[in-house]
Amino acid sequence: MKTVCTSIAILLSFFSIAQTAQRKAGSPIDNLPANIQVLTTFGERADFSPDNKQVAFMTKSFGDAMMIDLETHRIKCLTCNVPAAAFLRVMHLSTGDYILIGPDKFTDIHTSRERDNELWFLSKQPGSKPVRFGEKMSEGMAISKKGMKIAYSQLHAQYPEIKPGSSRIIMADIDLSSGTPKISNKKVVYESADSTCTLEAQDFFDNDSKMTFICYEPTHMASVMTIDLNTKQIINHSQKPNTYNECEGIFPDGKYTCVEADRQCDQLGGRRGPWNIDIWKLKLDGTGKDFVRLTHFNDYEGGKASNPVVSADGRLMAFRTPSATINKAAFAKQYKAHKPWWDSAFAYLKQTDLAALKPGRYTLYGNDDVYVNVTETSPKSKDEVLFEAHKNYADIHCVVSGQEQIGIAPYASAVLKKEYDPAKDIAFYTSAEGKYYLSDAAVFFIMFPEKDAHCGGIKAKENGTIKKVVVKVRTSK
């Protein structure tokens, strides 16, 4: 079972915990140290507000921008007035307004993330709609915490005049003086001639006179770099070839940066690169020696922490970690065996107006390899529902409107209550080991046969009708 959304967590103070010698079973979310708390059960790409009181984040890749109040934990949507919003990032300007990154509309993952990726301005005034700058760019960007300076990278995919494999970093200013947001004073501050170093701007520091950036290298490796914007001096600060070091989140003093790194693989083993990363703190002194580990999610099989950002006062760090409900091994096995089926299932969820679907059953291939059940039900109490499990199909559970609690329990220890019905591919169980999660339109869950006993439709905070889509994907033994 897998949820594709992710959790956002807060590191309440900066200290490290002793490393283990090998990866452990279990979930890091169930074993959090005292200085880390879960902020949301979904989302990615967190960014602190200038006053450190709120965190903006994305519901998912190609989704809506949200905001959570750190005191009340109340969440509001910033872009829900945009039909089929497909943004990738939301970041604060020093004015409290926002920069959005993403395509005008979703086409497919690669086209929308690469060729069509562009910059937008969103006013902090409630009800505002995004305004297009007319500037395409790649991945993330650096935004000044003191003024209106920005920096971002561009590749051949956005601008064909750039040689394939090459990349460049643009520095510019956001100009709001005319009432219409504009990008002004654009200039190229650094260029890479080929794909041995693909550039991504990250953070300004030292009164905006310097900037961290990433050099993405072949075979999924990366190095932490800085540029002096006056002298154009370039320094490699990670100083460890053939490893993954992606800087994200500068400390207020500009002497340290957070880094997504795979350095724990020296002790724990595993594949190098972005698949096995935790958050480290690196001193920007050019030696690569002052590297301190801040999180230990990768001590667990399948665990990692990424996308760190540090508050302007240096007290808090927000970051992303995969949800505790992920069953990576089962998903990898089934996706490899039936990639077209899974791709069509995800494409259907992305491209279909789910709210317009009427209750019933819909097939995607004209047969039973992939089909969809749409239901509208009233919520029930936990005592009124049984856990269920399947043998031949995985379920992708998506709430379209309303809220429910969804229960998940280990199949192996569930107690059979009603015998398996092969015609319906279902058996019913009870379990004392169930864990319950809030499910709404911002998240979805994947349940795998004979691994995840599950139940849904359980009353949550809202009591209205639950409209839900379940995509059934045939699986292999």
- 142 exposed, middle or buried (CB, 10 Å; 0-12, 13-18, 19+)? buried
201 and 216 Cβ atoms separated by less than 8 Å:
no
Q: Provide the 3-class DSSP secondary structure of residue 17.
A: coil
**How many Å apart are CA 250 and CA 264, to the nearest integer?**
21
Residue ranges of domains in the chain, CATH in brackets:
2-322 (2.120.10.30), 328-474 (2.60.120.370)
Sign (positive/negative) of CA torsion 388, 325, 48, 131? negative
- Write down the H helix ranges in 252-297: 265-268
452 closest CA partner among 408, 405, 396, 398:
408
153 and 170 Cβ atoms separated by less than 8 Å:
yes
**How many Å apart are CA 379 and CA 294, to the nearest integer?**
41
Residue 270: both structure tokens together: 């595993």
Mean pLDDT (10-residue bins), the chain, 477 residues: 47 55 79 90 92 94 92 92 92 98 90 95 96 96 97 97 97 95 98 97 98 96 98 97 97 97 94 94 97 94 92 96 72 86 88 90 88 95 94 93 89 94 95 86 84 92 87 86
Residue 236: both structure tokens together: 């490699």
| Residue 3: C-alpha distances to residues 27, 30, 60, 395 (Å) | 14, 16, 11, 11
- 53 exposed, middle or buried (CB, 10 Å; 0-12, 13-18, 19+)? exposed
Rg (CA), the chain: 23
Phi, psi of 167 (to 5 degrees): -155, 160
**How many Å apart are CA 431 and CA 408, to the nearest integer?**
9
Residue 394: both structure tokens together: 């995985």
29 and 324 Cβ atoms separated by less than 8 Å:
yes
**How many Å apart are CA 269 and CA 276, to the nearest integer?**
9
205 closest CA partner among 176, 179, 227:
227
β-pairing, 234-236 vs 245-250, is unpaired
**Count of helix runs (H) and strand runs (E) in the chain:** 4, 36
Residue ranges with strand state E in 237-325: 245-250, 256-261, 278-283, 291-293, 306-310, 317-322
H/E stretch holding 398 = strand 393-401
Residue 170: both structure tokens together: 């643009």
- 153 exposed, middle or buried (CB, 10 Å; 0-12, 13-18, 19+)? buried
- Tell me, what's the pLDDT at 18? 46
**How many Å apart are CA 145 and CA 126, to the nearest integer?**
22
Q: Provide the 3-class DSSP secondary structure of residue 193.
A: coil
| Residue 43: C-alpha distances to residues 37, 385, 407 (Å) | 15, 29, 20
| Residue 433: C-alpha distances to residues 103, 330, 361, 388 (Å) | 43, 20, 31, 14
